[in-house]
Structure 1
Amino acid sequence: MSKKQNTLEKYLKPEVKEKNIHSNESAESSTRPTKKVKKDETNKTLKIPESLFFEKREGTVKLASWNVSGLNAALKKGFKTYVEAEDADILCIQETKVNEKVNDVVDSKKYKYRWWGFDEKKGYAGIAVFSKIEPISTSFGLPTHPNPESTKGRIITLEFESLYYVACYVPNAGDKLARLKEKIVWDEVMEKYLRQLDEKKPVIWAGDLNVAHKTIDLAKPNTNQKTPGFTPEEREDFERILNGGKSKFIDTWRHFHPNTEGQYTYYSYRFKCYSKNIGWRLDYHVVSERILDKVIESEIRSNVYGASDHVPIVLVLKDL
């Protein structure tokens, strides 16, 4: 075993077996009860399987995305362990819940280019992107939104020579769907923005998109028809974004795993949902259809759980 593996041996955890279990768990922290509940035992420190410590394929670019559900808390529970193990070329994190830059989150010698987006509300939303590759330009927020200033903590767009990389944290429809109308507006302007970019260059849309597209994408579809992230309106909007224009966008993980059940990216800390494999697939790497041939793999890091109630997702490309 290498020195690197030995140092991180304490984080190793076996695979969670896939199960077709159903749940009516909510998909957003804002909808969770405020009363004290018994949390999952995995909400202590990050467990990383030895299999993640692999050599990067030569001539490829790796993109990783992770909703960290509070960066400061994630840092105490093994965030850096994952960053070191994955060694992505571009790392996007969402729901940082910080309102200023956090020092020493990543190795500054590796990730020379770093950007932070902050929400107006303290301790809410927030996004950051760390890259080894210098983009041509960078922009913040969603310019097509009626209130673009309010979206700076949710979107960072990097322009490269051959494509746009849109790192995104889509808002939730809220407890009792209080913000569903706002979410529908977001979906409309998000689609407009993506299509505007796509007319110029292909797009990679990455992050927590806060929607379970199909019934196969969450454990308990039958009891979640009115739950944020799985309402008919949100699912129809996502379907339209993917397939409603002249050019199409591809949900890469589902493309490579068309019939796979029981793999999710979000597990509530309540009721040992991770141990029972009761979850939602809310995190995506979506790409313009015309660059699908560049995608080598799209994976969910199901074993990387504990530092957040989400797990990371990874996209490997032939090049940028």
Structure 2
Amino acid sequence: MKLISWNIDSLNAALTSDSNRALLTRATLQKVIALKPDVIAIQETKLSVKGLTSKHIEVITQLAPNYNYAWRSSVEPARKGYAGTLFFYLKTLEEPKVTFPEIGAPTTMDAEGRIITLEFDNLFVTQVYTPNAGNKLERLADRQVWDQKYADYLAELDKTKPVLAVGDFNVAHHEIDLAHPDRNHMSAGFTDEERVGFTHLLSRGFTDAFRHVHGDVEGVYSWWAQRVRTSKVNNSGWRIDYTIVSDRIADKVTKAEMIDSGTRQDHTPIEIEIAE
């Protein structure tokens, strides 16, 4: 199976806008589709409560005619047009069972459209858009609860069949996972609490596929801050997007890479291939 995951920072804009950034986003989306993955996981869709509009579907039909899709939007009491996730999966695949899990997360997190799971005969494929702890870490305590609940959820899936979990986990696990660890120990995504949460997740029977394939390679990131114009040119990035697999299928991972998104800053797509 080949899967590509990407925090797109507004699927709505990518499909309907002609701004310079939207054009860059759409070009990257076209590149992803051209690679013909079995599954594409999209985070931060920012769709309305009603999800894909007729205009969105028209464009998707042109861009990705060989894919079915399943989406989940943020709904009340959460903010509208916020977060959200979507799967594309090839029409030639077995039809998966699609679920939209709620994990008992605090505040409105379960209503923010953050998890979708596809169940195939021999594998769960699930994506997540993990809540950010916030600029002033105002959501850090809630984020810690989320991390525990999410680890419990993946561990429960893993009791039935192997798991491939992908998405924007909003944490740089180790110092080699960001360019400037010394400046960011109190920054959202690199607090001790978030890093411990990710370590705990892996300890429940899961493997970081990128590190499994590449070891301690440095300088490979999946996100560069938009507000810093030179962040990508200078490779001042973070690796906060992951492909996680059940330990028992880790040796079946044949590829785990970042996909070049050119000059577009923010997240870049990530790719994983698993032998059947």
TM-score interval (norm. to shorter): 0.7 to 0.9
Q: Is the CA contact 1:74–1:307 (under 8 Å) kept in the aligned structure 2? A: no
Higher strand share: 2
Query: How do residues 109-120 of structure 1 correspond to structure 2 at under 5 angstroms?
Result: 109-111=65-67, 113-120=68-75
Q: Is the CA contact 1:141–1:152 (under 8 Å) kept in the aligned structure 2? A: no
Query: How do residues 222-233 of structure 1 correspond to structure 2 at under 5 angstroms?
Result: 222-233=182-193
Secondary structure class of the residue paired with 1:177: coil
TM-superposed CA distance for 1:168, in Å, is 0.8
Q: Is the CA contact 1:297–1:317 (under 8 Å) kept in the aligned structure 2? A: yes
Structure 1 residue identity aligned to 2:32: V
1:12-34 deviations in Å (ceiling 9; x for gaps): xxxxxxxxxxxxxxxxxxxxxxx
1:38-67 deviations in Å (ceiling 9; x for gaps): xxxxxxxxxxxxxxxxxxxxxxx2100001
In 2, the alpha carbon distance for the partners of 1:263 and 1:167 equals 21
Match of 2:19 in 1: none
Q: 2:210 aligns with which of 242, 246, 253?
A: 253
Match of 1:209 in 2: 169
TM-superposed CA distance for 1:308, in Å, is 5.5
Match of 2:18 in 1: none
In 1, the alpha carbon distance for the partners of 2:96 and 2:222 equals 31
Q: Is the CA contact 2:232–2:263 (under 8 Å) kept in the aligned structure 1? A: no
1:128-159 deviations in Å (ceiling 9; x for gaps): 00001234411113334356883451100010
In 1, the alpha carbon distance for the partners of 2:264 and 2:229 equals 17
In 2, the alpha carbon distance for the partners of 1:141 and 1:68 equals 21
Q: Is the CA contact 1:141–1:148 (under 8 Å) kept in the aligned structure 2? A: no
Match of 1:180 in 2: 140
Q: 2:33 aligns with which of 84, 99, 102?
A: 84
Query: What's the TM-score once normalised by structure 2's chain length?
Result: 0.86
Secondary structure class of the residue paired with 1:96: coil
Task: Summarize the Cα distance change of 1:198–1:147 in structure 2 as closer, same or farther, 3 Å threshold.
Answer: farther
1:91-114 deviations in Å (ceiling 9; x for gaps): 001111111213223645310x21
For structure 1, the 5+ residue unaligned runs are 1-60
Q: Do structure 1's residue 310 and structure 2's residue 267 form an aligned pair?
A: yes
Report the structure number with the largest CA radius of gyration.
1
Q: Is the CA contact 1:285–1:315 (under 8 Å) kept in the aligned structure 2? A: yes
Match of 2:44 in 1: 95
Task: Summarize the Cα distance change of 1:146–1:181 in structure 2 as closer, same or farther, 3 Å threshold.
Answer: closer
Question: Sequence identity of aligned pairs in percent?
Answer: 41
Match of 2:114 in 1: 154
For structure 2, the 5+ residue unaligned runs are 16-21
229-238 or 113-122, larger mean C-alpha shift: 113-122
Match of 2:240 in 1: 282
In 2, the alpha carbon distance for the partners of 1:71 and 1:272 equals 24
Structure 2 residue identity aligned to 1:261: E
Aligned-residue CA RMSD (Å): 1.8
Q: 1:299 aligns with which of 257, 265, 272?
A: 257
Q: How many residues align structurally?
A: 254
TM-superposed CA distance for 1:191, in Å, is 0.7
Q: Do structure 1's residue 193 and structure 2's residue 150 form an aligned pair?
A: no
TM-superposed CA distance for 1:268, in Å, is 1.0
TM-superposed CA distance for 1:72, in Å, is 3.0
TM-superposed CA distance for 1:81, in Å, is 2.2
Secondary structure class of the residue paired with 2:255: strand
1:182-235 deviations in Å (ceiling 9; x for gaps): 100100100110111111111111000100000000001011011000000000
Structure 2 residue identity aligned to 1:258: G
Secondary structure class of the residue paired with 1:72: helix
In 2, the alpha carbon distance for the partners of 1:74 and 1:264 equals 22
Query: What's the TM-score once normalised by structure 1's chain length?
Result: 0.75
